[in-house]
């Protein structure tokens, strides 16, 4: 009994501070839009910078799309073409990467390097209409670091995109609307560290294609602006410019390089205004051997090698960080709505 009264006083003293940290109206709106009520929000928030982690995961999602579309098209018997920012393919993809990561916690200094295993499953569905198409992608991953378990996390990332790609004949510029929902969790799935909901739009441009022999070199440009609502931390606004470069030999190999530059302005910060500029340089090369085309019950596979470099510049010194993630990956793809005419017999 002697300890009960002091504890009660301590709770009463801390309650004003707690009330100040409760999410505001805009953060509650973000949770409602996400359709995820009654969530348990852990205060640990992982050891990483969650906004930067989300942006890296979004870039990885884009890179996986390119490989998945190529592999699904090849198995279907269609001409595998790299179409920058095209979201028309339907498939389920399983990626099994094993990489070296130079900075799992995305800290400014004193980084702990680690072996990185991040199995990821991605599914895509799309439908067309007279003026364009509507596509939905969802990815889930288990982010594991052998030498820094505090950086371990689980994640779900979904992207919905409405493209107006058929407004005029031979249309080169495609405006779109986009919504991205990201959920980052601690290693125990029930402990959700943060939820972010991005709403915005942009324009993508398919640049001229260059052909050398049987191989194609393609490129594209994408400019977008989004507003991010979060349950932990600060809401923010960002503008991003992305380039997409692809190589396809129409037989066994393809490669992609999708550099991006994003400037993010945060609403609030402990030291005043905060602005981050993030450069992400993801490159991936794939080998698609005939032996892995429809090798088992509709599954096709490829062997990939990826290099992902990230550099975050910030006027808040502690938030500046750089990271390398390099290594091989096996990808398996299954698709629906087609046959495997493209596989050798």
333-342 pLDDT, tens digit each = 887 555 545 5
For residue 296, what pLDDT is reported?
75
203-219 pLDDT, tens digit each = 999 888 888 888 888 89
CB 51 within 8 Å of CB 310: no
Q: What are phi and psi of 145, to 5 degrees?
A: -120, 125
Interacting residues of 3 by C-beta distance below 8 A, sequence separation 6+? none
295-325 pLDDT, tens digit each = 776 678 889 999 999 999 999 888 999 999 9
Phi-psi region of 218 (alpha: psi -120 to 50; beta: other; left: phi over 0): beta
CB 333 within 8 Å of CB 120: no
Q: What are phi and psi of 142, to 5 degrees?
A: -115, 100
Nearest to 75 by CA among 295, 322, 293: 293
For residue 229, what pLDDT is reported?
96
Q: What are phi and psi of 81, to 5 degrees?
A: -125, 140
Does the global pTM surpass 0.85? Answer: no
Identify which has the larger pLDDT, 123 or 292. Answer: 123
Q: What are phi and psi of 299, to 5 degrees?
A: -90, 140
CB 246 within 8 Å of CB 254: yes
Average pLDDT score over residue span 19-41: 41
166-187 pLDDT, tens digit each = 888 888 899 999 999 999 888 7
Lowest mean pLDDT, pick from 13-22, 43-52, 71-80, 183-192: 13-22
pLDDT at 79 over 70: no
For residue 337, what pLDDT is reported?
52
134-169 pLDDT, tens digit each = 989 999 999 999 999 988 989 999 999 999 988 888
Tokens standing for residue 287: 């080998």
Average pLDDT score over residue span 220-247: 94
CATH 3.30.70 for the 39-334 domain, yes or no: no
Phi-psi region of 167 (alpha: psi -120 to 50; beta: other; left: phi over 0): alpha
Query: Which sequence spans correspond to the domains of the chain?
Result: 39-334
Q: Which of the given ranges, 118-127, 267-276, 297-306, has the highest pLDDT on average?
A: 118-127
Q: What are phi and psi of 70, to 5 degrees?
A: -60, -45
Beta bridge partners of 96: 330
């Amino acid at each position: 009994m002697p300890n009960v009264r002091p504890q009660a006083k301590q709770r009463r003293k801390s309650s004003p501070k707690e009330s100040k940290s409760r999410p505001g109206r805009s953060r509650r709106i973000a949770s409602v839009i996400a359709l995820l009520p009654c969530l348990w929000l852990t205060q640990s928030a992982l050891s990483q910078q969650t906004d930067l982690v989300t942006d890296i995961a979004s870039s990885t999602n884009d890179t996986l799309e390119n490989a998945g579309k190529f592999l699904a098209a090849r198995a279907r018997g269609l001409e595998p073409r790299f179409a920058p920012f095209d979201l028309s393919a339907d498939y389920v993809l399983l990626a099994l990467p094993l990489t070296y990561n130079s900075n799992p916690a995305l800290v400014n200094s004193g980084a702990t390097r680690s072996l990185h295993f991040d199995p990821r499953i991605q599914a895509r569905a799309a439908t067309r209409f007279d003026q364009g198409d509507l596509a939905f992608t969802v990815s889930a991953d288990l982010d594991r670091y052998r030498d820094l378990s505090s950086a371990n996390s689980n994640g779900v990332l979904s992207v919905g995109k409405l493209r107006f790609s058929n407004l005029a004949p031979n249309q080169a510029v495609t405006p779109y609307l986009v919504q991205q929902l990201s959920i980052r969790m601690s290693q125990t799935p029930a402990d959700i560290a943060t939820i972010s909901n991005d709403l915005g739009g942009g324009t993508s441009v398919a640049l001229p294609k260059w052909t050398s022999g049987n191989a194609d070199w393609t490129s594209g440009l994408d400019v977008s602006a989004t507003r991010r609502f979060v349950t932990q931390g600060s809401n923010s606004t960002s503008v991003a410019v992305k380039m997409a470069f692809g190589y396809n030999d129409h037989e066994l190999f393809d490669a992609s390089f999708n550099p991006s530059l994003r400037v993010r302005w945060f609403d609030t910060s402990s030291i005043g205004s905060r602005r981050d500029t993030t450069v992400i340089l993801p490159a991936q090369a794939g080998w698609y051997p005939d032996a892995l085309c429809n090798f088992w019950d509709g599954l096709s596979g490829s062997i990939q090698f990826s290099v992902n470099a990230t550099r975050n510049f910030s006027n808040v010194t502690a938030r500046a960080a750089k990271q390398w993630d390099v290594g091989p990956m096996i990808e398996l793809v299954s698709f629906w709505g087609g046959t495997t005419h493209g596989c050798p017999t």
